[in-house]
């Protein structure tokens, strides 16, 4: 008898796989036949995916919610599709795209059409990811141009910083001595002190 499996992937351990799990269970995939990786899709060194592929036998069926669960770029998705359908002789069903169901259209025309749709969708998915990265970079650049700061806010300077900067500038103590008194790294003290002194009116 053919076995039914489901594969889920989320990119980080913080992400939730519930939507994928519900979709696969609704397709009749048994809970015990679900495989989950909480890792990036940048490569296929994913333990649960590898375990699933090793288990596959001819006639088995693998369900995924969307095509990008198999990989994050055009070449990887195509390679994994061929691994499952050609080498392992199992079927793949993409829940979000009924056309990508290798159980139907087993004749030459059906296989050709499924492969064409797969390649088109893989290209579109990869292209959309590239567009998202471009939009994110453009948004960050625009925000920086408006003065938006990213990252952690700067740590406030100690209350006596101005006094010690003046004494350092006057040669009364070394940068190392001032930094030790203020409990700051020497390089940080010198950088901040120069900025402060440069900003003061002559």
Buried b (16+ CB within 10 A) or exposed e, 15-45: eebeebbebbeeeebeeebbbbbebebeebe
Residues tagged active-site: 11
CA distance 67 to 52: 17
Instruction: Give residue for tokens 């300077």.
Output: 157
Please give the C-alpha separations between residue 37 and each of 7, 15, 126, 193, in angstroms, as whole numbers: 8, 11, 20, 50
Instruction: Give residue for tokens 């959309």.
Output: 128
192: which 2 tokens?
């901040």
| Torsion angles phi and psi, residue 116, rounded to 5 | -65, -45
């Amino acid at each position: 008898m053919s076995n039914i499996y489901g594969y889920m992937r989320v990119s980080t351990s913080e992400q939730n796989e519930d939507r994928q799990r519900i979709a696969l269970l609704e397709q009749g995939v048994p809970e015990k036949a679900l495989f989950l990786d909480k890792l990036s899709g940048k490569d296929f060194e994913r333990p649960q995916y590898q375990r699933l592929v090793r288990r596959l036998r001819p006639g088995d069926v693998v369900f995924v919610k969307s095509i990008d669960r198999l990989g994050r770029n055009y070449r990887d998705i195509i390679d994994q599709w061929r691994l499952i359908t050609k080498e392992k002789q199992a079927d793949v069903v993409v829940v979000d795209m009924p056309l990508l169901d290798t159980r139907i259209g087993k004749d030459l025309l059906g296989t050709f059409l499924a492969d064409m749709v797969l390649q088109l969708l893989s290209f579109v998915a990869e292209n959309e990811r590239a567009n998202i990265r471009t939009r994110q970079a453009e948004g960050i650049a625009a925000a920086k141009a408006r003065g938006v700061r990213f990252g952690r806010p700067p740590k406030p300077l100690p209350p006596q910083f101005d006094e010690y900067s003046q004494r350092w500038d006057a040669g009364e103590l070394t940068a190392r001595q001032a930094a030790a008194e203020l409990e700051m790294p020497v390089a940080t003290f010198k950088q901040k002190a120069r900025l402060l002194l440069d900003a003061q009116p002559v």
